[in-house]
Amino acid sequence: MKLLAVETATEACSAALLIEEEIIEQFCLSTNGHSKLILPMIDALLAEAGLQPSGLDSLAFGRGPGSFTGVRIAAGVVQGIAFALDLPVVPVSNLAAVAQDFFDHNNENLAFVAMDARMDEIYWGVYQRNPEGYAKLLGNEAVLRANEIEFPDMPGAGIGSGWKAYPQELLARLAHRVIRYENDNLPRARAVARLGADAFKKGLAVSVEQAMPVYLRDKVAKKESER
């Protein structure tokens, strides 16, 4: 199969092309400008593979949580391509993408994923490596304070930008369950492509009309008095 993946929900901006089992990726870090970066990335990937957009079987995108503007960029780009080419779409959790990329490069089988959500909160999800090697959500994803997280009584690794912002709170809450933690993990299109391809093979792709962002947080901004 041939699948194009897009991820722009954080300071990381990336696109990846999966052809059968091989993945090529364009990746960069930028504080803004993702809307200008992502389309040239896609063009470069297709050119490198010698593939026309019409040769794609499906699309995938990081559907959130993350920056509201960033999530909308990924969704908008993929929706535009999907409409034009009548392609199915796989929305992929950004938290799952962080976990998947970690599992693909490490031996641990459980990840406590925390992404900094600002406003003294984190995006939170606990993922386990399933027998096929893919990240499986345990419980629910949530946006909440670091000292309010819920988790299984299992050992694992802490990963994500939330561990940079709130390491003490997370370690105090998780106690002896954390084997180690990393705080520079960001969602990447290569992981979105891996998860997207697996979901596509399982018949979980949706029409472009159903390919919507998931923000977790309902309020884009809070008034100063509410913070």
Tell whether the model's pLDDT for residue 221 goes beyond 60: no
Question: What pLDDT score was predicted for residue 227?
Answer: 36
Tell whether the model's pLDDT for residue 214 goes beyond 90: yes
Tell whether the model's pLDDT for residue 223 goes beyond 90: no
Question: What pLDDT score was predicted for residue 219?
Answer: 52
Do 125 and 141 reside in the same domain of the chain?
yes
Do 198 and 134 reside in the same domain of the chain?
no
Q: CA nearest 43: which of 35, 34, 52?
A: 52
pLDDT tens figures, 86-141? 999 999 999 999 999 999 999 999 999 999 999 999 999 999 999 999 999 999 99
Do 88 and 109 reside in the same domain of the chain?
no
Do 27 and 85 reside in the same domain of the chain?
yes
Do 83 and 25 reside in the same domain of the chain?
yes
Do 215 and 161 reside in the same domain of the chain?
no
pLDDT tens figures, 18-73? 999 999 999 999 988 999 999 999 999 999 999 999 999 999 999 999 999 999 99
CATH number for position 56: 3.30.420.40
Phi, psi (5° rounding) for residue 153?
A: -85, 70
Do 158 and 192 reside in the same domain of the chain?
no
Do 53 and 99 reside in the same domain of the chain?
no
pLDDT tens figures, 24-33? 999 999 988 9
Q: For residues 225 and 210, which has the higher predicted lDDT (pLDDT)?
A: 210
- In the chain, what percentage of residues exceed pLDDT 70? 96
Residue 160: how many CB atoms within 10 A of its CB? 31
Do 27 and 81 reside in the same domain of the chain?
yes
Query: Cis omega (within 30 of 0) on the bond before 65?
Result: yes
pLDDT tens figures, 137-167? 999 999 999 999 999 999 999 999 999 999 9
Do 37 and 139 reside in the same domain of the chain?
no
- Cα–Cα–Cα angle for 41, 43, 48, rounded to 5 degrees: 95
Do 171 and 138 reside in the same domain of the chain?
yes
Which range marks the domain in which residue 142 is found?
94-182
How many structural domains is the chain composed of?
A: 2
Query: What 3-state DSSP class applies to 142?
Result: strand
